[in-house]
Amino acid sequence: MNGRSIGALMFGKYKLISLLGRGGMGEVFLARGPQLKRPVVIKRILASMLSDSDMLRAFLDETRIAARLRHPNIVRIDELGEVEGEWFVRMEYVEGAALSEVLKRAARGNEHLPVEAVLSMGAGLASALDYAHHATDPEGRALQIVHRDVTPQNVLLARSGEVKLIDFGVARAEQRFLRTMPGLVKGKLPYMSPEQADGRRIDARSDIFALGVCMWESLTGR
**21, exposed or middle or buried, with CB in 10 Å at 0-12, 13-18, 19+?**
middle
Measured between alpha carbons, how far is 141 from 135 in angstroms, rounded to an integer? 8
Measured between alpha carbons, how far is 173 from 152 in angstroms, rounded to an integer? 19
**Widest pairwise Cα distance in the chain:** 51
Q: Which of 86, 2, 71, 73 is nearest to 41 (CA)?
A: 2
Q: Do residues 73 and 125 make contact, with C-beta atoms less than 8 angstroms apart?
A: yes
Distance of CA 24 to the CA centre of its chain: 12
Which residues fall within 8 angstroms of residue 191, CB to CB, at 6 or more apart?
Answer: 149, 150, 151, 210, 213, 214
Catalytic one of 52, 54, 78, 149 = 149
Active site residue 149: yes
What H or E segment, with its residue span, contains residue 26?
A: strand 26-32
Residues with a catalytic annotation lie at 149
